[in-house]
Amino acid sequence: MKLAVVGVTGLVGSVMRDVLTERNFEIDEFLPVASAKSVGKKVTFKDKEYTVIGLEDAVAARPDVAIFSAGGSVSLEWAPRFAAVGTTVIDNSSAWRMDPDKRLVVPEVNGVELTDEDKIIANPNCSTIQMVLALSPLHKAFGIKRLVISTYQSYTGTGVVAVEQYNAEKEGRTAENPAYPHPIFENCLPHCDVFLENDYTKEEMKLVNETRKILGDPDIRITATAVRVPVNGGHSEAVNIEFENPFNIEEVKTLLEDTPGIVVMDNLSDNVYPTPLMAKNKNEVFVGRIRRDESVENGLNLWIVADNLRKGAATNAIQIAELITQKALV
């Protein structure tokens, strides 16, 4: 197994190295890849130092798998070039997610659909991944009619520039290159990604479109408000669900408890419910505050939390790599 990580010096790239080590992913040759300005830098992986190489050299090396976390423009240009030499690309950007010819994969939900013809595989948006993992078994059981989503997303999801802005503001300095138009320290911004013509943000529409694609149901009605919050290392979501069919709360809890990758934390008498702080550096998706919405027929409320850099990005991508290796698709 020859594996390349493209964007290895970035925030997600760093976490990918950690997750690959923790999960003991078998690699015969590791290729750390980044943009021209990072070529020649040193990175550490499994206690060994590597020299970062450029994209041209990485393509020439013909890796079996290349995990991309380098932005949409890089993916659009370079993913097809890797695929052309036989590499299976797992892309963490939004570049290929809504391409009708590309799989958008959360392994526990729709990984079974992957074939050896899928040479460019899209990793969903961080907030979508954690949500659909919880929604999938419930949709199969009761049929989701409508979703109302409110997210509380860590500034780490924006990348290194946002982390630098937060740290500068926390220290009382002015950020040299701010990621946001307003302060993020001790603040909340209802502004994740750019605004679109319909007045929703790109992040909000990712939740709409990606959820429908992954669950295979274009008729689910979805609306979302995505908020950036001064939290390090976790996205939280309040998800209101209206089902087509009646449900039992205990059955909902059992379905979630039986879903691989989900941890149910729902014991209110002991104040047990998920928080982003406890989810940090963990690979699972945590679900709590499971309760009936008494204002609508067949309504349910969930609180869903996950580390956005792990299950929301690096871990999900590596789980895809594990899956295609197990299925001998590379």
Q: How far is CA 252 from CA 11, 141, 221, 289, 294, in A?
A: 35, 9, 21, 12, 16
- Rounded distance, CA 60 to CA 78, Å? 12
28 and 134 fall within a common domain: no
CA distance readout (Å), 297 to 234, 255, 293, 310: 31, 20, 8, 35
**Do both 141 and 179 map to the same domain?**
yes
Asked if 225 and 127 count as a contact pair (C-beta separation under 8 A), the reply is no
**In a shared domain, residues 81 and 136:** no
The answer to whether residues 171 and 105 belong to one domain is no
pLDDT for the residue 233: 80
Q: Which residues of the chain fall short of a pLDDT of 70?
A: none
C-alpha closest to that of 128 among 224, 254, 258: 224
What CATH number does the domain containing 206 carry? 3.30.360.10
Per the structure, the count of domains in the chain is 2
Q: What is the DSSP string of 209-274?
A: HHHHHHHT-TT-EEEEEEEEES-SS-EEEEEEEEESS---HHHHHHHHHTSTTEEE--BGGGTB--
Q: What is the pLDDT of residue 330?
A: 76
φ, ψ of residue 57 in degrees (nearest 5): -65, -35
Show the tokens assigned to 263.
Answer: 């941890």
Residue 274 sits in the same domain as residue 162:
yes
**Could you tell me if 319 and 20 are in contact, meaning their C-beta atoms sit under 8 angstroms apart?**
no
Q: Are residues 131 and 270 in the same domain?
A: yes
pLDDT at 328: 81
Beta bridge partners of 288: 303
Q: Which of the 8 DSSP states describes residue 20?
A: H
Looking at residue 329, what is its pLDDT? Answer: 83
Q: Do 32 and 43 form a contact (C-beta atoms < 8 A)? A: yes
Based on the domain organization, do 176 and 251 belong to the same domain?
Answer: yes
DSSP of 61-114: T--SEEEE-S-HHHHHHHHHHHHHTTPEEEE-SSSSTT-TTSEE--HHHHGGG-
Domain match, 190 and 293 both: yes
**69: CATH:** 3.40.50.720
Place of tokens 């009761």: 142
Distance CA 280, CA 73 (A): 29
The answer on 263 and 296 residing in a single domain is yes
Q: How far apart are CA 242 and CA 300, in angstroms?
A: 6
Which residues are part of the catalytic machinery? 126, 235
Q: How many whole angstroms separate alpha carbon 314 and alpha carbon 307?
A: 10
148 and 215 share one domain:
yes
DSSP 8-state secondary structure symbol assigned to residue 127:
H
The answer to whether 88 touches 29, Cβ cutoff 8 Å, is no
Q: For residue 286, what are its two tokens? A: 């945590």
Query: Do 72 and 184 share a domain, yes or no?
Result: no
Residues 155 and 48 in one domain: no
Using CA atoms, how far apart are residues 321 and 329, in angstroms rounded to an integer?
10
Residue-range definition of the domain harbouring residue 26: 2-123+313-326
